[in-house]
Amino acid sequence: MELINQHTKRIMEGCKERARSAGLSFTDESLEYLVTNRDLLELSPKVMIPTLYDYWVHDVEVLREKGKYELYPHNPYETVINTRPPISFYNDNNPDWLNVMIFYHVLAHIDFFQNNLYFRHTWDYDFTGQALSDKRVIAKLRAEKGRWVDYVIEFARGIDNLVDFHGGLTELFMPRGAGCSSRLNYYFDVFLQSVKKVPVSDYLKEVSRYNDCLKHDAQLGEKSFFVEAERRYPELEAHFSRWERQDKPVVRRDLLRYLLDHSSFLARDENVWMRSILEIVRKTSVFFQPQIRTKIMNEGWASYWHEQLFLKDDRIRGHEVDFARVHAGVTSMPRVGINPYALGMRLFCQIEEQADKGRFSFDFQRLADADRRRHFDAGTASGGDYIFSVRENLCDYLFLKNYLDQDFLDRYKLFVAGKRLDQQRMVWQYYVKSRRADDYRAMLLDSLYHPPVITVDQEKGVEGSLYLVHAFEGKQLVHEYIANTLMGIEYLWGGPVHLETSDARLAATPSGPGSPEGVSGRVVAWQRVLYSMNEKVLSRKNL
Amino acid sequence: MRNKLLTYLEELKAAGMSPQREAELRAELETADDPHAPPASVAEGAGTEGSGLPNFKGGDLTFLQQIPPPYVNAAVLAKSLDELLERDRQREKDGFPRKIQVGKLVKPGKGNAGKVVVVPTTVEEKLIHDSTIRPTGEGGGEGSGTGGSGEGEEGEVIGEQPVRGEADQPGGAGPGEGEGENHELESTAYDLGKTLSEKFQLPNLKDKGKKRSFTRYSYDLTDKNRGFGQVLDKKATLRTIVETNIALGNLPDLSDIDPTRFLIAPHDKIYRVLSPEKDYEPQAMLFFLRDYSGSMEGKATELVVSQHVLIYSWLLYQYAGQAETRFILHDTEAREVPDFYTYYNSRVAGGTQVSSAFKLVNDIVEKENLARDYNIYVFHGTDGDDWDDGGMKAVAEISHMLGYASRVGITVAAHAGQDGVMTTVARFMNTSGLLKSKPGLIRMDIIQEDADEARLIEGIKKLIS
């Protein structure tokens, strides 16, 4: 790996100036490296972070990718990494004009990393530096503890999708306990809801009474609010003090953190070293969470900007056709399939256009007349600002959910493509399954990253066991993975582990032998089950 | 097709058959017209979270810069693979299940059939959603589909793709991945494959028309050189000395030779020098035969195919380029298929006549005159069911085959609840006495439906050793 030469760096700096004046914002410094295939090979399993800790699964991946390469060429590499300064990787034989285009693409990525609020927790430190120190910690531990280090890494990575990424973000924007006193929280969150079980209307009345009190007197508002509340519920104070004294059940969505805080096994002196590994794995996972959740937006944003900026760049005159070819390749909508670059870019364009015409407004929303809708233009011309705020505040889920509408589908002639077998002619038929925005959106949302919500139920975790509850969202967990994952959790917890989840029972209609998978008539019945892992033995029972 | 079979069935019935047997055969007959085409690839990336969107496997580097995937030397690969497997063995000792699978042995390629890529795979198991199972009404069965763009009414077919020729399907996973996944082999298979490779080779390998050669050389003192060299070839030297002395007239009486009077020129000394020799090796032709009749539904096919994958992989591994393979599928009729992919993925349907496959092999061997140049091996996999109860035809074909074949291996994967020994094929093979009279040439392995990989490997040992 080496840095790009001064000539190319000068091009990059020129791109930065132009990108800044277009409104993108990013830090001054950036590092650009030329990479060889060999570098890529070592980098790709480490998510392109050169300093990520060593782990044997990465080696396996390298080997597997190699073997697979012959069969199905693909390379899951990202070019830009979200570090301080941001690092990006390049092929060494790009012509200057192509570099200009790629630099704009990269700068837009950097802008996204540094301004999208889902990345807020990555802004205050340099991940490569952190990763390097973590790597050294792990290397040192490995020298002392040998292969057990790898087992702990493995078990921790087994649950590294169960980190409360959103919870962590919330705390950044609103520190715990900020704004409200614990008495107030108790009153509204517990007392009214669980103890008194007041109807919703009364609850809302209390909320607005509180707001009134606060409006009346910001200093003493809360006090006067509680004077009234205590008059109504004389037992409130007693309940509150009792509640404050007792151990509160912690409902945790962050299993890794929970283990760090509550595992008696990890608390033992001889096992304390494992905690640093868990911390490292958790930190790494949390770092990458926003990246997985903003793929369409991030690529769309970068494609949008490389197009905008490239065409305005005076340095590349004469390469418009070259650009058009590459750009079309990057951002074409495939006949069948999804291209996140293309989808995201078009959606940003559409949002900008709609916002320019002031269509994200109540006036437009309530218009029913199709013709007037088509010609609606409030002339607000606020599209530029609007897409910047979208870039700042949303992730893929909200991006698609809010803005992917029927107009968008019609405009770009998008549809959900289905695939079915034509038995007579022995061909797969691709067909237009649906042109409804709802279906298209559902299809996309379904493909987004969404780890299961698994919480710890402390009350059910009796006699030193850990009781996990999987919130059912219409899908079961992958069965084959349950045993080993639970075994890992059992190891880290140091006691039996239970997992409550839902399993599907398929009642397939009998189909003749030799007929293609008899899937058409199957019915799914859901059954709540409990998996238990004790002494490395998995058992399952219906609940 | 069906009518023909029906007539055949009537004939069999006329010859006498139990009602139960007739019912069995009729059930198979029902499937006679079903296609044998390979199944579709299973929905890709089932449950692999983080794999991202369908068709989005590349990143900026591919999209923007068209960087080709990197390449690594296979030798480096093999070494580290061993290290990884060593680690995995240690894992087992430490009380955790093994995690590394050595798999993807077969590239189900089209045309240029088969390629072995020994790759380790491992899964980072996590609690993730299984997207393959969804309630009805949410597009169950078909999957949720993917995106698309362009013209077309709802319901309109916009494109077709032959089930067989989908080698370069967009989206990465492609054919074979889905089905192949089930056949990933335990790391023990790799270990064993290595051991097998070291200890065993194809049985009865004879020198026949050594046409093929590896690009392999062995160095041997084979070249001769006059005057100087590494090792003196005494016999050759003596011969030239005698010749020279005769020419000089120094050897008047041939009946009384006195070596002490020989005149020896330096040029007469013949030495052997080291030279590279191309290694020619005997060549082998392997026939893989598989029953794909309706009764093979389910586990039986899986077992047979798995075992053939193992044999095939091992052969390719060991006899790369030297062993040629042919693939034959049969129900009541046999047909040759061009590559392992089709062989491996074709669906089951139709009735059964084992003899048809053996007959086809005999025909091919005769027509192409293979017996002269090749060592011929035949591996046949079946569930043991055959409409031809007595197996007269099959036994006749097999006996003929044993005249030229170096080894015939028959795998009977008996269905659950069935006694493998009592299956039709096993029965007629046993009664034929071939197994006993020519144990060097023909072997039979009967496995139960619940057999695991280890059992299959045992089976291979039995068939091959």
If you average pLDDT over every residue of chain A, what do you get?
85
Give dist(CA A194, CA B188) in Å, integer.
Answer: 57
For residues B304 and B388, membership in a common domain is answered with: yes
Residues of B in contact with A499 (CB under 8 A): 127
A95-116 pLDDT tens trace:
888 888 889 999 999 999 999 9
Q: What value does the mean pLDDT take over residues B104-119?
A: 49
Alpha-carbon torsion A177, A179, A182, A186, what sign? negative
B407 pairs with which residues across the strands?
B377
Q: What pLDDT does B67 receive?
A: 55
For residues B330 and B274, membership in a common domain is answered with: no
Chain B residue closest in CA terms to A434: B154
First to last CA, chain B: 40
What is the nearest CA distance from B405 to chain A, expressed in angstroms? 33
Inter-chain contact A473–B129, Cβ cutoff 8 Å?
Answer: yes
Q: What pLDDT does B282 receive?
A: 64
- Residue B335 placed within a domain: yes
A284-330 pLDDT tens trace:
999 989 988 998 999 999 999 999 999 888 888 888 888 888 888 88
B442 pairs with which residues across the strands?
B408
* Residues in CB range of B14: below 8 A, 6 or more apart: none
The encoded tokens of residue B170 equal 């967009």
- Residue B396 placed within a domain: yes
Q: What is the DSSP string of A346-376?
A: HHHHHHHHHHHTT-SSHHHHT---HHHHHH-
Task: Name the band, by pLDDT with cuts 50, 70 and 90, for residue A226.
Answer: confident
Q: What pLDDT does A247 receive?
A: 65
Q: How many domains does chain B have?
A: 2
Q: What value does the mean pLDDT take over residues A202-208?
A: 89
The CATH number of whichever domain residue B407 belongs to comes to 3.40.50.410
Q: What value does the mean pLDDT take over residues B101-118?
A: 50
Inter-chain contact B160–A422, Cβ cutoff 8 Å?
Answer: yes
For residues B360 and B382, membership in a common domain is answered with: yes
A352-361 pLDDT tens trace:
999 999 888 8
For residues B348 and B415, membership in a common domain is answered with: yes
Residues of B in contact with A102 (CB under 8 A): 60, 64-65
For A149-154, which contacts have Cβ atoms below 8 Å and span 24 or more sequence positions? A149/A277, A150/A55, A150/A56, A150/B87, A151/A491, A151/B94, A151/B96, A152/A274, A152/A277, A152/A278, A152/A492, A153/A53, A153/A55, A153/A277, A153/A281, A154/A57, A154/A488, A154/B99, A154/B124
Higher pLDDT, A63 or A17: A17
Is it the case that residue A133 has pLDDT exceeding 70? yes
- Residue B205 placed within a domain: no
Inter-chain contact A476–B133, Cβ cutoff 8 Å?
Answer: yes
Going by the DSSP 8-state scheme, the letter that residue A471 receives in this structure is P
Q: What value does the mean pLDDT take over residues A485-508?
A: 88
A94–chain B Cβ distance below 8 A for any pair: yes
For residues B270 and B396, membership in a common domain is answered with: no
A440–chain B Cβ distance below 8 A for any pair: yes
Q: What pLDDT does A515 receive?
A: 38
Q: To which H or E segment does residue A419 belong? A: strand A414-422
Residues of B in contact with A41 (CB under 8 A): 70, 72
Q: What pLDDT does A301 receive?
A: 94
Higher pLDDT, B384 or A163: A163
Task: Name the band, by pLDDT with cuts 50, 70 and 90, for residue A23.
Answer: very high
* Residues in CB range of A59: below 8 A, 6 or more apart: A45, B80, B84
For residues B340 and B247, membership in a common domain is answered with: no
For residues B275 and B319, membership in a common domain is answered with: no
The encoded tokens of residue B359 equal 């007959």
Give dist(CA A42, CA A294) in Å, integer.
Answer: 25
For residues B431 and B317, membership in a common domain is answered with: yes
Question: In a mutagenesis test of the A interface, which of B55, B60, B340 is the best target, namely the one with the most A β-carbons within 10 Å?
Answer: B60
For residues B364 and B425, membership in a common domain is answered with: yes
Amino acid letter, A122: T
Q: What pLDDT does A9 receive?
A: 93
- Residue B68 placed within a domain: no
Q: Which of B279, B305, B326 is the last residue of a domain?
A: B279
Residues of A in contact with B159 (CB under 8 A): 335-336, 429-430
Is it the case that residue B295 has pLDDT exceeding 60? yes
Alpha-carbon torsion A371, A374, A379, A385, what sign? positive
User: Is the separation of the CB atoms in B334 and B290 below 8 Å?
Assistant: no
Task: Name the band, by pLDDT with cuts 50, 70 and 90, for residue B64.
Answer: low
Return the closest-CA partner of residue A417 out of A432, A435, A407. A432
Task: Name the band, by pLDDT with cuts 50, 70 and 90, for residue B136.
Answer: very low
Give dist(CA A399, CA A395) in Å, integer.
Answer: 6
Lowest mean pLDDT among A421-435, B111-125, B404-418: B111-125
A240-297 pLDDT tens trace:
888 877 766 565 788 998 899 889 899 999 999 999 999 999 999 999 899 889 989 9
pTM: 0.65
B82 pairs with which residues across the strands?
none
For residues B330 and B357, membership in a common domain is answered with: yes
Return the closest-CA partner of residue A191 out of A242, A157, A151. A242
Q: Which of B279, B299, B331 is the last residue of a domain?
A: B279
Range with top average pLDDT, A37-41, A143-147, A394-398, B103-107: A394-398
B327-376 pLDDT tens trace:
888 888 888 887 776 777 777 777 788 888 888 888 888 888 888 778 88
ipTM: 0.76
Lowest mean pLDDT among B100-104, B213-217, B257-261: B213-217
Higher pLDDT, A161 or B116: A161
Lowest mean pLDDT among A50-64, A233-247, A518-532: A518-532
Task: Name the band, by pLDDT with cuts 50, 70 and 90, for residue B187.
Answer: very low
The encoded tokens of residue B446 equal 């009967």
Inter-chain contact B55–A329, Cβ cutoff 8 Å?
Answer: no
Question: In a mutagenesis test of the B interface, which of A295, A301, A420, A431 is the best target, namely the one with the most B β-carbons within 10 Å?
Answer: A431
Query: Where does residue A428 rank: exposed (0-12), middle (13-18), buried (19+ CB within 10 A)?
Result: middle
For residues B270 and B312, membership in a common domain is answered with: no
Inter-chain contact B119–A67, Cβ cutoff 8 Å?
Answer: yes
Higher pLDDT, A481 or B322: A481
Give dist(CA B411, CA B423) in Å, integer.
Answer: 12
For residues B265 and B335, membership in a common domain is answered with: no
Task: Name the band, by pLDDT with cuts 50, 70 and 90, for residue A491.
Answer: very high
Q: To which H or E segment does residue A420 belong? A: strand A414-422
The encoded tokens of residue B178 equal 């889905």
Domain enclosing residue B427, as ranges: 282-464
> Three-class SS of residue A138?
helix
B405 pairs with which residues across the strands?
B376
Lowest mean pLDDT among A237-241, A340-344, B88-92, B414-418: B414-418
User: Is the separation of the CB atoms in B309 and B140 below 8 Å?
Assistant: no
User: Is the separation of the CB atoms in A285 and A161 below 8 Å?
Assistant: yes
Q: Which of B230, B246, B279 is the last residue of a domain?
A: B279
Q: What pLDDT does A15 receive?
A: 93
Asked, as a colleague might, if the bond just before B266 is cis with ω within 30 of 0, I would say: no
Give the distance, in angstroms, between the CA of residue B12 and the centroid of all CA atoms in the same chain.
35
Inter-chain contact B124–A158, Cβ cutoff 8 Å?
Answer: yes
Phi-psi map region of B112: left, alpha, beta (phi>0 left; psi -120 to 50 alpha):
beta
Reduced 3-state DSSP string for chain B:
CHHHHHHHHHHHHHCCCCHHHHHHHHHHHHCCCCCCCCCCCCCCCCCCCCCCCCCCCCCHHHHHHCCCCCCCCHHHHHHHHHHHHHHHHHHHHCCCCCCCEEECCECCCCCCCCCECCEEECCCCCCCEECCCCCCCCCCCCCCCEEEECCCCCCCEEEEEECCCCCCCCCCCCCCHHHHHCCCEEHHHHHHHHHHHHHCCCCCCCCCCCCCEEEEEEEEEEEEEECCCCEECHHHHHHHHHHHHHHHCCCCCCCCCCHHHCCCCHHHCEEEEEEEEEEECCCEEEEEEEECCHHHCCHHHHHHHHHHHHHHHHHHHHCCCCEEEEEEEECCCEEEECCHHHHHHCCCCCCCCHHHHHHHHHHHHHHCCHHHHCEEEEEEEECCCCCCCCCHHHHHHHHHHHCCEEEEEEEEECCCCCCHHHCHHHHHHHHHCHHHHCCCCEEEEEECCCCCHHHHHHHHHHHHC
Give dist(CA A365, CA A124) in Å, integer.
Answer: 40
Q: What pLDDT does A251 receive?
A: 57
- Residue B411 placed within a domain: yes
Inter-chain contact B170–A334, Cβ cutoff 8 Å?
Answer: yes
Q: What value does the mean pLDDT take over residues B289-296?
A: 80
Q: What value does the mean pLDDT take over residues A412-430?
A: 82
Return the closest-CA partner of residue B406 out of B373, B432, B384. B373
* Residues in CB range of A536: below 8 A, 6 or more apart: A487, A490, B95, B96
B412-436 pLDDT tens trace:
887 766 666 677 888 888 888 878 8
The encoded tokens of residue A406 equal 């029927």
Return the closest-CA partner of residue A103 out of A313, A328, A388. A313
A170-188 pLDDT tens trace:
888 876 656 677 788 888 8
The encoded tokens of residue A158 equal 């087994």
Residues of B in contact with A432 (CB under 8 A): 148, 152-156, 158
Task: Name the band, by pLDDT with cuts 50, 70 and 90, for residue B201.
Answer: low
- Residue B158 placed within a domain: no
Q: Where are the alpha helices (DSSP H) in A44-164?
A: 56-71, 96-115, 127-145, 148-158
- Residue B458 placed within a domain: yes
Is it the case that residue B219 has pLDDT exceeding 50? yes
User: Is the separation of the CB atoms in B8 and B312 below 8 Å?
Assistant: no
What is the nearest CA distance from A396 to chain B, expressed in angstroms? 12
Chain A residue closest in CA terms to B141: A519
First to last CA, chain A: 56
Give dist(CA B447, CA B451) in Å, integer.
Answer: 6
- Residue B375 placed within a domain: yes
